[in-house]
Structure 1
Amino acid sequence: MVDSLSSPDADDLDWGLRAAFGPGSGLHEGLTEAGAGGETVTARLGLHPPRLLRDEPDLPDARVHAAPLGARPKRDARYQVLGEIARGGVGVVHKSRDIDLGRDVAMKVLQDTHADDPAMVQRFVEEAQIAGQLQHPGILPVYELGLEDDRTPFFTMKLVKGRTLSALLAERPDPAADRPRMLRTFEGVCQTVAYAHSRGVIHRDLKPSNVMVGAFGEVQVVDWGLAKVLDASGTPGERSRSNPFDTNIATVRTGDDHSGSLVGSVMGTPAYMAPEQARGEIDRVDERADVFALGGMLCEILTGHAPYAGADDPVASAAETRLTPALERLAACGADEELITLTRACLDPRPDERPRHAKAVADRMATHLTSIDERARRMEVAAAEARAKATEERRARRLTVALSCVVIVALLAGIAAWLAAETRRRERIDTATNRVEAQLNEASQRLGEAQVAPLGATDAWVAARSAGAHLQQLLEPAEVSGGARTRAAAFLAELDQADRDRQLIETIEEVVIRGATHQDRVSWVAMEQQLRATFRDYGIDLDTLPRDVVATRIRESPLTRQLADGLELWIATCFALGGAGDAPRPPEELFQWVSVLFEADPEPVRTRVRELLYSEAPTREQVETLVASIDLATLHPRTLSWLASIYFRTGHPAPLFELYGQAVLLHPGDFMLNFDFAFNLEFAERWEEAIRYLLRCTGIRPRSAGVWRALGNAYREIGDLPASRAALERALTLRPDHRPIEVDLAYTRLEQGDIEIATAMLQQAVAAEPDLARAHCFLGLALQRAGRLVEALAELERCHELGGRNPMWREPSEEWMDACRAELEALESTRP
């Protein structure tokens, strides 16, 4: 069985938090401080606080849900840089691995050359803030904004697997090739920019190389590094400092008299730049500058060249609007006149003559694309009518073949009916496909939120699974385009695998917490069996699969570290049971499994730790050399525990406590790391320190029976019997079927002088589990104190017999037997 996985109630959390960290630290007591005490990235950099973008228009059924208060997430060295993707004038984009979740992300870091430039730092942070507030399928979601150890800002985004629109345009054999797909991609760009304009944001660097087209056709506008937030009037001015409560627009540069966008500066790409932007007339740059850039992109789609392509000085050409070559190419491109007219309107040198914002461009594009479909349908109808007319003329001329004409007319009518039915079917497919695409975007967003949620946060995963189930329902009865169905099926497979991975990680964590916090044979046997069952349910059967196959499956899994940790915990459990005289596997087989660990998880640092951990006789110097060569902040909590445990094998365990102290500072919220530290402090009889970390554990997991049991035994060792009894009663309430807890509670009652109650509890435990050695021990002591020496000696002898089977037996059972015999002999000698 596994301890309850339900969230602890507020009283449990408050009790544990107050016990661990003192008054005022409870769940309800800490809400105000949690909201006010956390320091943001902009505050740490000394920047102005962000302003919020304009609210999105309300939808008919829209509801606003308040987000729960919580502490700002910390990086804790969770990202592993895998390689550089791109480099620009301001930042560098890396492909990175989120170590905690095993997921690839794009990480953008400010270049070192700009780290000391406040204006560049402001612009970099503003890019993250703008993208983070623009919630749209066409804009990459920002997962996290943070600082490196050297205060260099970075932010992480969704990693898009696709190609730029620039690359797709370049590989066309001629501008007319694949034009419909390019136009639909351009419509997606317009819709995305229209959304940004509705939120008061202009991009200022729109171009095909800043448009990503994903592997499944999704369109996303990237690189918002030059974006500008307009004020409420729609101009790119700065907000007055006299109104601190205005939250209509948000940038870190708000209120700064030295904005990165200075009058006279030129920002953007000259080939697509509006004349007012090229001339540095910043006060005149608004949504219409983006409209000009959209016109430049449409010009390149239709003609194969940007507006100022081939110019010796693109900036001067843009400033002076030298568009004659571009307009000549447009006139000769052979595209629909509507598209040419729209392109010319967008490229008008006079801002007031251009469409006011991107939505106007998007609407005209949508109208044009719809008209193309309608035109095709009209051509089909016209063709059918022409065929019918020709048939009628032939029938008039050939009265002798009237029957043949009837057949032909019937045939044509059938074709027309088929065409009409096919048109209706296409409309149904388009409607169903649009619904699937919208739900796919929603489900993808929910999965992304779930994957970054902390371990044990079930609400985010419930939302992700619910969105996936809705997507599955839309797929089943509907006629959906093949591409949309393929993308949806791929996502559902990804969701299923992600959910299985999460369940595996949480199950291993719960099994270890339930078993390792109880220092008794029954718990460790159950832990060994449950770990094997967890691997078997995941498809890795440790009992039947060859060991090399196990190693390969772990190594090729996206959860290599988590699976290797679970396998190592299973091996350690088997070794511990062997040390207790109850080995489930012979030692030589366990060392073969250790070899599997090295093959399954070849990560260099963990390999070095394991080499020393499983070596025959590690020395203190070897351990200290290894510790000195590793950045402890990069290690997972479980690896830190293995590293610290090596000190015990050296015969010099003192440095272990210093290493554990550093580890819990790095990972204060990791339950097992704090418990392992407390266990080692107990082993060294440093009870007061052990109690401090056990109390911290109760704050992290208030419903863990094992930690309350350990806390109760520690309190008994320092003589605080009321606290010992309260903690053990709490443990027994959480796990009433676990006899060893009842035995520990009976021992505390015995020490309190409740001999009769303790005796009854211990007799009940012995009757239920006759081989429970500690129950016989404490029953012998209780009977001895009651003066029942003969019965006491029998229980103590039974205790010594059972305990002797365990090489790790620590109770002084032999001393207790000798004391009981001496007391019995003294009593006999006084009799006549």
Structure 2
Amino acid sequence: MVDSLSSPDADDLDWGLRAAFGPGSGLHEGLTEAGAGGETVTARLGLHPPRLLRDEPDLPDARVHAAPLGARPKRDARYQVLGEIARGGVGVVHKSRDIDLGRDVAMKVLQDTHADDPAMVQRFVEEAQIAGQLQHPGILPVYELGLEDDRTPFFTMKLVKGRTLSALLAERPDPAADRPRMLRTFEGVCQTVAYAHSRGVIHRDLKPSNVMVGAFGEVQVVDWGLAKVLDASGTPGERSRSNPFDTNIATVRTGDDHSGSLVGSVMGTPAYMAPEQARGEIDRVDERADVFALGGMLCEILTGHAPYAGADDPVASAAETRLTPALERLAACGADEELITLTRACLDPRPDERPRHAKAVADRMATHLTSIDERARRMEVAAAEARAKATEERRARRLTVALSCVVIVALLAGIAAWLAAETRRRERIDTATNRVEAQLNEASQRLGEAQVAPLGATDAWVAARSAGAHLQQLLEPAEVSGGARTRAAAFLAELDQADRDRQLIETIEDVVIRGATHQDRVSWVAMEQQLRATFRDYGIDLDTLPRDVVATRIRESPLTRQLADGLELWIATCFALGGAGDAPRPPEELFQWVSVLFEADPEPVRTRVRELLYSEAPTREQVETLVASIDLATLHPRTLSWLASIYFRTGHPAPLFELYGQAVLLHPGDFMLNFDFAFNLEFAERWEEAIRYLLRCTGIRPRSAGVWRALGNAYREIGDLPASRAALERALTLRPDHRPIEVDLAYTRLEQGDIEIATAMLQQAVAAEPDLARAHCFLGLALQRAGRLVEALAELERCHELGGRNPMWREPSEEWMDACRAELEALESTRP
């Protein structure tokens, strides 16, 4: 017999209640609950009700709404419900009164709409259990976890009369107003989160609206509904318990193999969300995701805006770490350098570069605030000394007048003032120069990291540009030494050139991704034209320059490999269009361009790969000999892809998949390498494996319409039509002007049985692009299934005519025509 309490797949409410409250607490099991249906303790003891203390004054924006009778909790003995405080997506919070103790509490009750959802019951109970075990002044204490008369779970906690940090920030006239109080509030938040981290709990939804500031200044972090309990070991080699006497947090899910969070799911508030959390990388979300959110809160305190304020798509902005506007606002906010540095460290796109946990942030905040206090005390002492000194100087001046030494005293005072001013000027120059030198070192390091980062890894370039912008700001004052200014200016010019080079490389990559992932004639024609335009913008016109000049310019460029790769992709695109019966250039000219490749990029290993790639009939033995002589780890992803593709030409493609498997292990984040692998798996009809690598591509480039289209077609091949439709609709949203996506979506709708909708979509596609062969194919199939056989045959014949122009045409159009003719003949034979 299977114990239902251990089964996370139970689909009724009983499992969630038993998990929270133990055996016997299900809806269909007897439950005797103390106090659930009897009198209060005072009534049972025959005592008078407690004397109630005077109410605390409400703050201006505190709201308690009288709850409708049907919405009030059904617990009628112990608690008196006074009104509704707030309502969220999961629970309702009521202001209630504990009749026995005479105190007001906040009672959170699971909404009726979630009462039959075991997962929601479990998460609701976990929120109470986590908050109940986190005993800290900055976390609302949980008084009781229980069940209503109808078995709806609830828990009660301390009622705080206060305002959210979000409201306090919004009412400031400018970000500098009331900043010391906001920083001390933020320090309290850091201390609270640090305690949670020491107990192995991460919040996952830190933001100003989840921080309450009480009427008497108390700071409390609320809403632990998305909190997660980390493994006892944490991340190997990194987490360590700060307090040896802390005990582990336990919840209804403790010991369960299911984390409760699905890989790829996005939870939290995008405006403060770490990139790994926004990308749904659940296994990478740890204390550093909370540190990122703390950085977002500190950013809003200093600048008045959250990190992704104003973004059209906050989730995408968080996933791709588009922090440049936020970092520019930070640089211009006028706050202390220590605070800006701390904020930038917390908002670092790379989790390993952030402070490890909230305690590190709290310690730095405490140090900064202590230094401010010490600075204020020193200023008070200096002011007192200045007043005393001024008094003495006045006495000295009177004495000087009495002694008739006005000229000498004035001269001495002038010299002293000049010396003091000169000393202060030199100090300012030294301070400004030291800051410039330190930032120059930081920016140089970030540029070095960006230059070795894989293509598409924007985080490193964001960090490099941010460091450069901060360096530029430090150069604005005139009081920086000439040498430091010259070195900084030279570096900024180098950064600007490196960024332009990166943009060229990324432009080539974007063009290829946009064209090659679609595998249709329209996309390939556009890719060929855009690659030529990219080279022309860089100063290499493939249409007008002699080929030897092109080779020389590529060879002498600092981007030799990247430009050679781009030229090779252009040549391959031309060859592919020629294979599809639409050659933009004759084969003889293309082979002359292949010779340019060898001249432009003479690197030995790539030369050996190209010699075999463009040979007339490479053998498997030649390829294996070449692979065995090369250290694959030293090759660029594009070279690995070319190398693997040679196996296909040998007539023995099996080793191709093994080589691609090694390549994606070496470069798991390279989009085109993963896509090329998936494409070859699709060609071999290994659809399940292809889907695995296409899903990886959607994680690397979530806004690439081509990969969503390929994923949708792959899902259709394995019969998962709902997934196919969802993926193709996503592709069409990203690129609504691309008709072939609409044709693929219509085919999936046809396979789902939506014949009328599919027919209308395909008729619209054929009307818009009459030469789209696959549109005629699928329209013919749709008409055939609708019984319109004569029209269907006409469309299939048109499809076969158009497809026959393409030597690479793979659709079985001839079989479809024969089947349609046979059905038409059978129908004709039955007529009288």
TM-score (norm 2): 0.49
* SS of 2:105 mapped into structure 1: strand
Describe the shift of the 1:118–1:748 C-alpha distance in structure 2 as closer, same or farther (beyond 3 A): closer
Structure 1 residue 509 displacement after superposition: 2.5
Describe the shift of the 1:413–1:189 C-alpha distance in structure 2 as closer, same or farther (beyond 3 A): farther
* SS of 1:37 mapped into structure 2: coil
**Cα distance in 1, alignment partners of residues 506 and 556 from structure 2:** 20
Describe the shift of the 1:83–1:558 C-alpha distance in structure 2 as closer, same or farther (beyond 3 A): farther
Q: 706-715 vs 178-187, which deviates more? A: 178-187
Structure 1 residue 638 displacement after superposition: 1.6
Describe the shift of the 1:214–1:411 C-alpha distance in structure 2 as closer, same or farther (beyond 3 A): farther
Q: Is the 8 A contact 1:2 1:510 kept in 2?
A: no
Structure 1 residue 496 displacement after superposition: 0.7
Describe the shift of the 1:217–1:771 C-alpha distance in structure 2 as closer, same or farther (beyond 3 A): farther
Measured against aligned partners, the alpha-carbon deviations of 1:463-489 in whole angstroms (never above 9, x if no partner) come to 432443444455567376543343222
**Cα distance in 1, alignment partners of residues 824 and 313 from structure 2:** 110
**Cα distance in 2, alignment partners of residues 51 and 575 from structure 1:** 90
Describe the shift of the 1:398–1:263 C-alpha distance in structure 2 as closer, same or farther (beyond 3 A): same
**Cα distance in 1, alignment partners of residues 342 and 783 from structure 2:** 99
Describe the shift of the 1:159–1:194 C-alpha distance in structure 2 as closer, same or farther (beyond 3 A): same
Q: 551-560 vs 35-44, which deviates more? A: 35-44
Matching of residues 445-456 of structure 1 within 5 Å = 445-451=445-451, 453=453, 455-456=455-456
* SS of 2:4 mapped into structure 1: coil
Matching of residues 96-135 of structure 1 within 5 Å = none
Describe the shift of the 1:584–1:492 C-alpha distance in structure 2 as closer, same or farther (beyond 3 A): same
**Cα distance in 2, alignment partners of residues 277 and 518 from structure 1:** 29
Q: 366-375 vs 213-222, which deviates more? A: 213-222
Structure 1 residue 831 displacement after superposition: 3.9
Q: Is the 8 A contact 1:85 1:93 kept in 2?
A: yes
* SS of 1:96 mapped into structure 2: strand
Q: Is the 8 A contact 2:59 2:162 kept in 1?
A: no
Measured against aligned partners, the alpha-carbon deviations of 1:164-216 in whole angstroms (never above 9, x if no partner) come to 99999999999999999999999999999999999999999999999999999
Measured against aligned partners, the alpha-carbon deviations of 1:320-358 in whole angstroms (never above 9, x if no partner) come to 999999999999999999999999999999999999999
Describe the shift of the 1:163–1:416 C-alpha distance in structure 2 as closer, same or farther (beyond 3 A): farther
Q: 732-741 vs 257-266, which deviates more? A: 257-266
Q: Is the 8 A contact 1:743 1:761 kept in 2?
A: yes
Structure 1 residue 540 displacement after superposition: 3.1
Q: Is the 8 A contact 1:20 1:699 kept in 2?
A: no
Measured against aligned partners, the alpha-carbon deviations of 1:395-431 in whole angstroms (never above 9, x if no partner) come to 9999999999999999999999999999999998777
Gaps of 5+ in 2: none
Q: Report the equivalent of 1:144.
A: 144
Measured against aligned partners, the alpha-carbon deviations of 1:42-61 in whole angstroms (never above 9, x if no partner) come to 99999999999999999999
Describe the shift of the 1:360–1:257 C-alpha distance in structure 2 as closer, same or farther (beyond 3 A): same
**Cα distance in 1, alignment partners of residues 117 and 672 from structure 2:** 43
**Cα distance in 2, alignment partners of residues 825 and 371 from structure 1:** 93
Describe the shift of the 1:94–1:558 C-alpha distance in structure 2 as closer, same or farther (beyond 3 A): farther
Structure 1 residue 806 displacement after superposition: 1.3
* SS of 1:690 mapped into structure 2: helix
Q: Report the equivalent of 1:241.
A: 241
Structure 1 residue 71 displacement after superposition: 47
Describe the shift of the 1:616–1:10 C-alpha distance in structure 2 as closer, same or farther (beyond 3 A): farther
Structure 1 residue 788 displacement after superposition: 1.5
Q: Is the 8 A contact 1:395 1:401 kept in 2?
A: no
Q: Is the 8 A contact 1:272 1:306 kept in 2?
A: yes
Q: Is the 8 A contact 1:691 1:711 kept in 2?
A: yes
Describe the shift of the 1:620–1:80 C-alpha distance in structure 2 as closer, same or farther (beyond 3 A): farther
Describe the shift of the 1:33–1:554 C-alpha distance in structure 2 as closer, same or farther (beyond 3 A): farther
Describe the shift of the 1:721–1:209 C-alpha distance in structure 2 as closer, same or farther (beyond 3 A): closer
Describe the shift of the 1:192–1:546 C-alpha distance in structure 2 as closer, same or farther (beyond 3 A): farther
Structure 1 residue 6 displacement after superposition: 41
* SS of 2:70 mapped into structure 1: coil
**Cα distance in 1, alignment partners of residues 270 and 652 from structure 2:** 68
Describe the shift of the 1:555–1:292 C-alpha distance in structure 2 as closer, same or farther (beyond 3 A): closer
**Cα distance in 2, alignment partners of residues 101 and 830 from structure 1:** 89
Q: Is the 8 A contact 1:20 1:695 kept in 2?
A: no
RMSD, matched Cα: 23.9
Q: Is the 8 A contact 2:72 2:81 kept in 1?
A: no
Structure 1 residue 647 displacement after superposition: 1.6
Structure 1 residue 530 displacement after superposition: 2.5
**Cα distance in 2, alignment partners of residues 432 and 660 from structure 1:** 52
Describe the shift of the 1:271–1:624 C-alpha distance in structure 2 as closer, same or farther (beyond 3 A): closer
Describe the shift of the 1:425–1:463 C-alpha distance in structure 2 as closer, same or farther (beyond 3 A): same
**Cα distance in 1, alignment partners of residues 400 and 813 from structure 2:** 121
Describe the shift of the 1:433–1:393 C-alpha distance in structure 2 as closer, same or farther (beyond 3 A): closer
Measured against aligned partners, the alpha-carbon deviations of 1:113-161 in whole angstroms (never above 9, x if no partner) come to 9999999999999999999999999999999999999999999999999
Structure 1 residue 520 displacement after superposition: 0.7
Q: 542-551 vs 389-398, which deviates more? A: 389-398
Structure 1 residue 585 displacement after superposition: 2.2
Matching of residues 72-221 of structure 1 within 5 Å = none
Q: Report the equivalent of 1:628.
A: 628
Q: 539-548 vs 317-326, which deviates more? A: 317-326
Q: Is the 8 A contact 2:272 2:308 kept in 1?
A: yes
**Cα distance in 2, alignment partners of residues 76 and 646 from structure 1:** 77
**Cα distance in 1, alignment partners of residues 485 and 78 from structure 2:** 35
Structure 1 residue 776 displacement after superposition: 0.7
**Cα distance in 2, alignment partners of residues 96 and 207 from structure 1:** 26
Measured against aligned partners, the alpha-carbon deviations of 1:762-806 in whole angstroms (never above 9, x if no partner) come to 111112222211001110111122122222222122212221221
Q: 428-437 vs 705-714, which deviates more? A: 428-437
Describe the shift of the 1:726–1:187 C-alpha distance in structure 2 as closer, same or farther (beyond 3 A): closer
Q: 45-54 vs 226-235, which deviates more? A: 45-54
**Cα distance in 2, alignment partners of residues 829 and 541 from structure 1:** 64
Q: 519-528 vs 543-552, which deviates more? A: 543-552
Q: Is the 8 A contact 1:705 1:730 kept in 2?
A: yes
Q: Is the 8 A contact 2:321 2:459 kept in 1?
A: no
Measured against aligned partners, the alpha-carbon deviations of 1:429-461 in whole angstroms (never above 9, x if no partner) come to 777655644543343344345445554444443
Describe the shift of the 1:313–1:128 C-alpha distance in structure 2 as closer, same or farther (beyond 3 A): same
* SS of 1:31 mapped into structure 2: coil
Structure 1 residue 508 displacement after superposition: 2.5
Q: Is the 8 A contact 1:3 1:510 kept in 2?
A: no
**Cα distance in 2, alignment partners of residues 98 and 473 from structure 1:** 58
Measured against aligned partners, the alpha-carbon deviations of 1:632-654 in whole angstroms (never above 9, x if no partner) come to 23222221211111122222222
Number of residues of Structure 1 aligned to a counterpart in Structure 2: 832
Structure 1 residue 683 displacement after superposition: 1.3
Q: 71-80 vs 661-670, which deviates more? A: 71-80
Q: Is the 8 A contact 2:324 2:466 kept in 1?
A: no
Q: 806-815 vs 269-278, which deviates more? A: 269-278
Q: Is the 8 A contact 1:41 1:146 kept in 2?
A: no
**Cα distance in 2, alignment partners of residues 41 and 659 from structure 1:** 74
Describe the shift of the 1:733–1:237 C-alpha distance in structure 2 as closer, same or farther (beyond 3 A): closer
Q: Is the 8 A contact 1:749 1:755 kept in 2?
A: yes
Is the counterpart of residue 279 in structure 1 residue 279 in structure 2? yes
**Cα distance in 2, alignment partners of residues 349 and 522 from structure 1:** 37
Q: Is the 8 A contact 1:442 1:467 kept in 2?
A: yes
**Cα distance in 2, alignment partners of residues 626 and 103 from structure 1:** 81
Gaps of 5+ in 1: none
**Cα distance in 1, alignment partners of residues 106 and 613 from structure 2:** 35
Describe the shift of the 1:686–1:247 C-alpha distance in structure 2 as closer, same or farther (beyond 3 A): closer
**Cα distance in 2, alignment partners of residues 233 and 9 from structure 1:** 27
Q: 185-194 vs 613-622, which deviates more? A: 185-194
Describe the shift of the 1:729–1:495 C-alpha distance in structure 2 as closer, same or farther (beyond 3 A): same
Q: 259-268 vs 360-369, which deviates more? A: 259-268
Percent sequence identity over aligned pairs: 100
Q: 498-507 vs 476-485, which deviates more? A: 476-485
**Cα distance in 1, alignment partners of residues 105 and 74 from structure 2:** 16
TM-score (norm 1): 0.49
* SS of 1:646 mapped into structure 2: helix
Q: 565-574 vs 16-25, which deviates more? A: 16-25
* SS of 2:36 mapped into structure 1: helix
Q: 717-726 vs 612-621, which deviates more? A: 717-726
* SS of 2:177 mapped into structure 1: coil
Matching of residues 3-22 of structure 1 within 5 Å = none
**Cα distance in 2, alignment partners of residues 738 and 768 from structure 1:** 11
* SS of 2:54 mapped into structure 1: coil
